[in-house]
């Protein structure tokens, strides 16, 4: 393929484009309809209904928030008691990349060692056992919730069995399991995923369905699966400065994403693009930093190659690998086109 | 005019519709352009430039946030020292209707008595003088900022002279003056307004230009007028859970609103509609709760009339007036149509 | 009486002296006994038992803290839900003189108008009724507790009937009533007091027995009357930085104060001294700012007289009365001596 | 030596006794002197002067607080900006045993790996370098202070050179170095200590001199060495609920501790007792968990032996060593007597 000068393609992140055209169209169609504010409109209701159906969780309570850090902050701080912290992987988004948003609300992130972004059920069990075994824990932060991400920040996935074990441990200690699904679609659509949305919903106490990275302009749908939405939740959302006057912006978008299976359809597309991308890199002999079955791919580039490639292809720095190599991330999304991959291939 | 059965018109609030069509069109045009995240895209830059120009404040720092309570919370908590509180009218939005969002960040709202939503310069001066006169103020919350809204929650406006006096007092005590401009356009477009956007910008230390209520789906543009944006502001926005991954959503909308004078144009339309609405009520002999020169009008309705009217016309409850009467609010906005007023008129 | 030059007497506050000699003696006697830390020693247990007996509240949970602001902060923040604030008199200590310690924990103080430091049951009922009547209260801070002080900051007292009414209203709205008893002994020992410690305990959900101002070096005994101590309270006390390693310091002092009726005995002495002081001022023709039946007396002094008197007698500035007069406070305490009053008398 | 039945000796902690007799005597002597409240009395002033002299730091600002966690919480939260966290050893008291008191104020503890309770200058430098090397650090918590303890929670000490290196790195990144001196005397009095109090003061920006564990009933003296006490510090102490009305309680005790070298004298006694204790264990063939040159000794006991010994000797559980052994801590202090060690020896 002949690559035109100046044609650059972008794999920098999964939030480089606006909304999926169908989502945008729905915003346009409904734009002038007069609606109640603060999430009390019928689009929010309908979107919540569709999500309950998709989760096979008819009793679930659904609330729409704007972004991922905001959702993590609000869910965690409203579900924890003051003396509790949240257990998370040391590499979890809440631990590292949210500017201390959890601590800002007064709660410690209790870090567990992570392997490829995941915590292990055994580590979690040992941590909880030791905590309560230690007679002195009155002077420590109580573990009040477990936070995991699906997929993780490294693109990896928990198996159904792994999730079930973590879920069982949480149940034994009566602490909720919270799944950060900022990229949930890209996890569920992966060939390696061995669980469905209803199965995931059944295994946790609260999770969110990421919209910002999966077809929306902004928006995350929080699902409380066990009739366990914190009391006066809307008031608490307001108290965090997170209640949109035009809640419709979120309701309409999620209504569109959960109509005719759009959410999973566009997620599958992103995964297909990621598989193609992997094949391209493999065929050219590149090495991966780790095996990711989802839309984020971590490739080890020789530094000079990285510099050259960056003229034509957008990607993001992840970490230094060694003196001569760097780990960089390529992300696909619903907006990635097969043509973009051809351009990438041409420059490798 | 013949009013069709079931035709209902809405004056419930100034956020019942989506975005102004030109704003939505701009979102659509730019939708698939790959852009950097977190407000680092060129639309955010251009919107900021246009705002600086409109404010005649070339050195201003501009940042986009999602909603009003969020903006108040972040501006106030990042500008105050820990031992400081914010001085505000007892009827101010931050005092009453933000679910304690300011206190949630650890700061007291120091309430001054309000008249029609406004504080008086004299009261403010006395409060500050007394605070520092009292030898015991080491055990009290230091006044660290003055918050006012323009227009106020009651639709009223400060005159240029009133603002200048308040500004001078703040200057004397070296505390910033923050103007909540959730409905800024509707204030500046009022016939009673005797100051311009540049004049307002010059009189305060920080203010915001409301988008949510003036043509945008969501979004407020914070303007730090004196090179006084708090250090690492973006990190602090993130820490509050308020940093949008797709910052473009805000940048593109404000870019549209500040192109070809759209923001003021649609604000003037809302004011024109409000003037018409006032005339209609006046001609029918209704009384107003107070004189409002902006887009919110507070009318005293006899309770039975209120009940009947609510079948055909949307408005919002404000407060009980007496046993037989109620104060209700009618809000116009950029989306109010002359036809809506005709329907209203027919039912009065 | 002949007053010696340089002999100055002090009525500045009720915390000008150290501990009552019996309290200090008890600290000395027990000083070298090895004891467990963090309030787990037998003196803390015994003091708690004696307090339960004195309150006729065998099920009460008792915890010792160091000072008044700390106690208010911890009791209020651990009993409120995140979306709740505390209702208090605008002149209440938590509203005005604690440097925003309540707001620092994220909670608003919802101020009611005060008369001589007291709130009225009717105002409280109206406030709560209006709050829940207003359909929009989802955007407001929920009233989650009522705080009153006994005696108030102005030395005044609630009657048993007044307390019972406030208690009944709290019960109806299912919010706890918290009584700040920083000067509790001086209230109960007043001739105007028409209730006993057990009666006060029965009318509220939590209160504290002030030690700092009534015979101790430091220390307040918090009494949760209804088996309602917040979960993991000790952990939360630690989290506030308020858990003393040598909890004995508080336990031993309260053990002494509640042995052989010492607490009430020394409280009665302070009241006797206050009555004497009042008589002296009255006989000399001075006017009082308000009628206080407890140990704090608010006298209106002519400014020149105030200046002269301050050479020989300590008191504290309260507020400006008019151009020529000032309100000052004289406080008696367990440490006030009859001789001190004679000196005062000589200089009036 | 014949050990009497029921005679038990205690090494559970360094806060099992009350105050050193000279400290208590001073409290008694000064008890009835009328003094100003809130730390404004002459004993506080004199104690501060003596501390400045002892630190050879004439410009230092000194403030007295009640306990260690409180001091850590207040110093850290008042010196950090909102977007900053404190760097500390993963085993540091602020990380593990303060019930989340730091996070409660909104700040993350950024944990570094610890060796025997100490962080290494190299690890600190790498951490800071990497933080600023990572282009993405806008989404992370800024390191705003370094916290170390001297001695550490494991009884170990930093050498002067180690401290100097850490201090140099802090200087380079312009972040303050804070030394937790809860057991400062026991560190400085150790034979292994190669630095003096003035040298320690010169190497850090703020530290505290522990009183609670070194002769006082309660109290820690915070020393800001570089004219860097946070603005309105007393107000902030009040806001944290930590301002004692009778500040004299702290001033008088520290005045006594810093009169005639009492603080170091009793510290040396505790170290002498610790050396004796070490020799006793060594001679009986016990193994130590680690080498501690200060007053806390960590001994590995066979479980059955531990059980028997605990009948006669108090000590505290530290951690499980293996299936058959446990690590326990023996603490000496100013109140440890040579006779106590003889009893211990008899039971080993």
- pLDDT (tens digit, 9 = 90+) per residue, B15-64? 999 999 999 999 999 999 999 999 999 999 999 999 999 999 999 999 99
Do D34 and D174 share a domain, yes or no? yes
CA angle A321, A326, A331 (to 5 degrees): 120
pLDDT at B1: 42
Q: How far is A249 from chain B (nearest CA, A)?
A: 7
What is the Cα–Cα distance from C111 to C89, expressed in whole angstroms?
5
Cα–Cα separations (whole angstroms), residue B171 to B112, B128, B198: 18, 12, 18
Q: Which of residues 218-237 of C touch D (CB under 8 A)?
A: 218, 235-236
Q: Which residue matches tokens 């950024």?
A: D110
Q: Answer whether B81 touches D (CB < 8 Å).
A: yes
**Per-residue pLDDT, A120:** 97
The DSSP bridge pattern shows strands C61-65 and C220-224 to be antiparallel
CB contact under 8 A, B83 and D139: no
Evaluate whether residue B4 is within a structural domain. no
Cross-chain CB nearest to C73 (options D69, D241, D248): D241
Q: Do A100 and D107 touch (CB under 8 A)?
A: yes
Interchain CB contact of A310 with C (< 8 Å): no
Q: Is the pTM of this model over 0.80?
A: yes
Q: Residue A155 carries which DSSP code?
A: S
Q: Write out the two tokens for B193.
A: 């307004």
Q: Scanning every residue of chain A, which has its alpha carbon at the shortest distance from the alpha carbon of B72?
A: A241
**Structure confidence by residue, pLDDT tens digits, D191-230:** 999 999 999 999 999 999 999 999 999 999 999 999 999 9
Based on the domain organization, do D105 and D123 belong to the same domain? yes
Nearest Cα residue to D11 out of D310, D303, D347: D310
Residue B282: how many other CB atoms lie within 10 Å: 12
User: Could you tell me whether strands C325-331 and D9-10 are parallel, antiparallel, or unpaired per DSSP bridges?
Assistant: unpaired
The whole-number pLDDT of residue C6 equals: 61
Does B248 contact A at CB distance below 8 Å? yes
Chain C residues closer than 8 Å to B100 by CB: 83, 85, 106-108, 141
pLDDT at A48: 98
Same domain, D112 and D13: no
Q: Is residue C190 part of a domain?
A: yes
User: Has residue D115 been placed in a domain?
Assistant: yes
The parent domain of residue C114 ranges over 21-261
* Alpha helices for B244-327 (secondary structure H): 248-257, 262-283, 303-309
Which residue of A100, A107, A108 is in closest CB contact with D141? A100
Q: Which two tokens stand for residue C148?
A: 């009153």
Express as a percent the part of chain B with pLDDT over 70.
98
Residues D38 and D234 sit within 8 Å (Cβ to Cβ): yes
- Are the beta carbons of B32 and A18 closer than 8 angstroms? yes
Q: Average pLDDT of chain C?
A: 96
Instruction: For residues A107 and A92, give the distance between their C-alpha atoms in angstroms, rounded to a whole number.
Output: 15
DSSP state of D273: H
Quote the CA–CA distance of C189 and C173 in Å, as a whole number. Answer: 31
pLDDT at C124: 98
Distance from C167 to chain D by nearest Cα, in Å? 27
Same domain? For D232 and D93 the reply is yes
Given a cut of 80, is residue C135 above it in pLDDT?
no
Across the interface, of C106, C235, C243, the residue whose CB is closest to A142 is: C235
Asked if C77 is an interface residue toward chain A (Cβ–Cβ < 8 A), one would say: yes
Query: Is the separation of the CB atoms in D26 and D252 below 8 Å?
Result: yes
How confident is the model at residue D136, as a pLDDT? 74
> What is the number of residues in chain B?
348
Contact A138 C232 (CB under 8 A): yes
pLDDT at D155 over 80: yes
Which of D246, D310, D344 should we substitute to test contact with C (largest number of C Cβ atoms within 10 Å)? D246
Which residues touch C285 (CB under 8 Å, ≥6 apart)? none
pLDDT band for position D2 (50/70/90)? very low
Cβ–Cβ < 8 Å for B171, B112: no
Compute the nearest-CA separation of C72 from chain A (Å). Answer: 17
Radius of gyration of chain A measured on its C-alpha atoms: 21
Say if residues D212 and D218 touch (Cβ distance below 8 Å): yes
pLDDT > 90: percent of chain B: 95
Across the interface, of C96, C108, C138, the residue whose CB is closest to B103 is: C108
Nearest to C81 by CA among A78, A85, B106: A78
Confidence of residue C136 (pLDDT cuts 50, 70, 90): confident
Q: What is the mean pLDDT of the segment spanning B266-291?
A: 97
- DSSP letter for A137, please: G
Question: Residue D34 and residue C28: Cβ atoms within 8 Å?
Answer: no
Please tell me which chains touch A, using 3 or more CB pairs under 8 Å as the contact test.
Answer: B, C, D
Which of D217, D241, D243 lies closest to C249 in CB terms? D217
HEC assignment per residue over chain C: CCCCCCCCEECCCCCCCCCCHHHHHHHHHCCCCCCCCCCCCHHHHHHHHHHHHHHCCCCCEEEEECCHHHHHHHHHHHHCCCCEEEEEECCCHHHHCCCCHHHHCCCCEEEECCECCECCHHHHHHHHHHHHHCCCHHHCCEEEEEEEECCCCCCCCCCHHHHHHHHHHHHHCCCCEEEECCCHHHHHCCCCCCCCHHHHHHHCCEEEEECCCCCCCCCEEEEECCCCCCCCHHHHHHHCCCCCCCCHHHHHHHHHHCCCCHHHHHHHHHHHHHHHHHHHHHHCCCEECCCCCCCEEEEEEEHHHHHHHCCCEECEEEEEEECCEEEEEEECCCCCCHHHHHHHHHHC
Do A115 and A243 fall into the same domain? Answer: yes
- Integer Cα distance of B13 and B316 in angstroms: 7
Picking from C213, C237, C261, the residue at the C-terminal end of a domain is C261
Residues A177 and A47 in one domain: yes
Task: State whether D139 and A100 contact (CB < 8 Å).
Answer: no
Is there a single domain that holds both residue D60 and residue D197? Answer: yes
The alpha carbon of residue B67 is apart from the nearest alpha carbon of chain C, in Å, by 14
Q: Are residues A52 and A181 located together in one domain of the fold?
A: yes
pLDDT of residue A6: 61
Nearest CB to A83: which of C106, C140, C232? C232
CB atoms inside a 10 Å sphere around CB B122: 10
Cβ neighbours of B301 (radius 10 Å): 22
Inform me whether the pLDDT recorded for D327 exceeds 80.
Answer: yes
Contact A273, A189 (CB under 8 A): no
Looking at the structure, do residues D72 and D154 belong to the same domain, yes or no?
A: yes
Interface membership of A192 toward D (CB under 8 Å) = no
Residue A6 burial by Cβ neighbours in a 10 Å radius (0-12, 13-18, 19+): exposed
> Do C253 and C269 belong to one domain?
no
Q: How far is Cα A21 from Cα B314, in angstroms, rounded to an integer? A: 33
Which residues touch A268 (CB under 8 Å, ≥6 apart)?
A189
Residue C3 predicted with pLDDT over 80: no
Chain A residue with Cα closest to C238: A139
Q: What is the rounded distance in angstroms from the CA atom of residue B37 to the CA atom of residue A212?
A: 11
At which of D211, D241, D259 does a domain end? D259
The domain boundary, picked from C242, C261, C280, lies at C261
Query: Do both B160 and B189 map to the same domain?
Result: yes
pLDDT, tens digit, for every residue of B87-119? 999 988 889 899 999 999 999 999 999 999 999
Determine, yes or no, domain membership for A2.
Answer: no
As a whole number of angstroms, the distance between CA D83 and CA A106 comes to: 14
Query: D19: distance to nearest CA of chain C, Å?
Result: 7
CB-CB neighbors (< 8 A) of A78 in chain C:
82
Using an 8 Å Cβ cutoff, are D15 and C28 in contact? Answer: no
CA pair distance C11, B33, nearest whole angstrom: 75
Q: What is the mean pLDDT of chain D?
A: 96
Any B CB within 8 A of D53 CB: no
Portion 160-179 of D in contact with A at CB < 8 A? none
Kindly indicate whether the ipTM for this predicted assembly is greater than 0.90, answering yes or no.
Answer: yes
**Looking at the domain assignment, is residue B269 inside a domain?**
yes
At A227, is the secondary structure helix, strand, or coil? coil
Q: Is the pLDDT of residue B3 over 50?
A: no
Helix, strand and coil in chain D, % to nearest 5: 40, 20, 40
CA pair distance C131, D231, nearest whole angstrom: 39
Rounded to a whole number of angstroms, the distance from the CA of D150 to the nearest CA of chain C is 19
Residues 6+ apart with CB under 8 A from C307: none
- The closest of C81, C23, C129, C77 to C237, measured between CA atoms, is C77
> In the block, which residue shows the tokens 């610890």?
D114
Residue B2 belongs to a domain: no
- Positions in chain A short of pLDDT 50: 1-3
Task: Using pLDDT thresholds of 50, 70 and 90, give the confidence band for residue B136.
Answer: confident
CA distance C240 to chain B (A): 14
Mutation for C interface: B72, B96, B104, most C CBs within 10 A:
B104
Nearest to B211, CA basis, from D180, A245, A132, A265? A245
Q: HEC states along B86-104?
A: EEEECCCHHHHCCCCHHHH
Q: Using CB atoms, which residue from A99, A138, A139 is nearest to D139? A: A99
Q: Are residues B201 and B335 in the same domain?
A: no
H or E, element range at A121: helix A121-133
Quick check: C99 contacting B, CB < 8 Å? yes
The mean-pLDDT minimum among A193-202, C128-137, D141-150, D269-278 falls in: C128-137
Q: Which of D81, D139, D236 sits opposite B231 (nearest CB)?
A: D81
CA distances (Å), origin A348, targets A14, A243, A280, A281, A305:
21, 46, 9, 8, 8
Mark yes or no for CB contact A140/D96 under 8 Å: yes
Closest approach of chain A CAs to the CA of D15, in angstroms? 16
Phi, psi of C220 (to 5 degrees): -135, 140
D86: left (phi over 0), alpha (psi -120 to 50) or beta: beta
Q: Is residue D129 pLDDT above 60, yes or no? A: yes
Size of interface A-C (CB pairs under 8 A): 45
Cβ B265 vs Cβ B279: under 8 Å: no
Annotate B7-48 with DSSP letters as a single string.
--EE-S-TTSS---HHHHHHHHHTTTS---STT-SHHHHHHH
**Residue D304, domain CATH:** 3.90.1150.10
CB contact under 8 A, B142 and D235: yes
Q: Residue B89's closest CA among B117, B126, B69?
A: B117
Q: Return the CATH number at B130.
A: 3.40.640.10
Using a CB-CB cut-off of 8 Å, the residues of chain B touching D237 are none
Q: Residue A151, preceding bond cis, omega within 30 degrees?
A: yes
pLDDT confidence tier of residue B133, bands split at 50, 70 and 90:
confident
Q: How far is C140 from chain B (nearest CA, A)?
A: 4
In a domain, D2, yes or no: no
Interchain contact, C107 vs B106, CB within 8 Å: no
Nearest beta carbon to residue B139 from set D83, D106, D238: D238
C3 within domain boundaries: no
Q: Over the Cα atoms of chain C, what is R_g? A: 21
A84: closest CA of chain D, how far (Å): 8
Number of compact structural domains in chain B: 2
Nearest-by-CA chain C residue for B138: C99
pLDDT in tens, D78-87: 999 999 999 9
Kindly report, residue by residue over D223-240, the tens digit of the pLDDT.
999 999 999 999 999 999
Strand-pair category, D287-288 with D296-302: antiparallel
């Amino acid at each position: 393929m002949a690559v035109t000068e100046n044609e650059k393609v972008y794999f920098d992140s999964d939030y480089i484009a606006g909304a999926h055209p169908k989502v945008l169209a729905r915003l346009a169609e409904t734009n002038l309809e007069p609606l109640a504010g603060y999430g009390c409109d019928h689009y929010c209701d309908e979107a919540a209904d569709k999500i309950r159906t998709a989760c096979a969780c008819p009793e679930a309570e659904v609330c729409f928030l704007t972004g991922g850090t905001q959702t993590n902050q609000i869910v965690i701080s409203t579900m924890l008691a003051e003396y509790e912290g949240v257990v998370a992987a040391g590499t979890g988004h809440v631990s590292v990349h949210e500017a201390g948003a959890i601590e800002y609300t007064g709660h410690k992130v209790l870090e567990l060692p992570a392997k490829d972004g995941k915590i292990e059920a055994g580590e979690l069990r040992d941590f909880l056992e030791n905590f309560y075994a230690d007679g002195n824990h009155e002077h420590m932060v109580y573990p009040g919730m477990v936070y995991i991400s699906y997929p993780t920040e490294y693109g990896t996935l928990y198996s159904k069995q792994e999730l079930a074990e973590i879920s069982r441990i949480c149940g034994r200690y009566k602490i909720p399991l919270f799944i950060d699904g900022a990229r949930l679609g890209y996890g569920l659509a992966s060939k390696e995923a061995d669980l469905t949305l209803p199965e995931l919903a059944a295994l946790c106490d609260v999770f969110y369905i990421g919209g910002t990275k999966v077809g929306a302009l902004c928006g995350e749908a929080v699902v409380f699966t066990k009739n366990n939405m914190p009391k006066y939740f809307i008031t608490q959302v307001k108290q965090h400065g997170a209640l949109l006057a035009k809640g419709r912006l979120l309701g309409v978008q999620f209504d569109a994403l959960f109509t005719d299976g759009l959410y999973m359809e566009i997620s599958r597309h992103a995964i297909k693009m990621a598989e193609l991308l992997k094949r391209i890199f493999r065929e050219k002999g590149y090495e991966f930093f780790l095996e990711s079955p989802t839309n984020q791919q971590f490739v080890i580039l020789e530094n000079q190659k990285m510099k050259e490639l960056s003229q034509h292809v957008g990607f993001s720095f992840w970490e230094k690998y060694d003196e001569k190599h760097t780990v960089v991330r390529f992300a696909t999304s619903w907006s990635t086109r097969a043509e973009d991959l051809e351009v990438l291939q041409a420059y490798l």
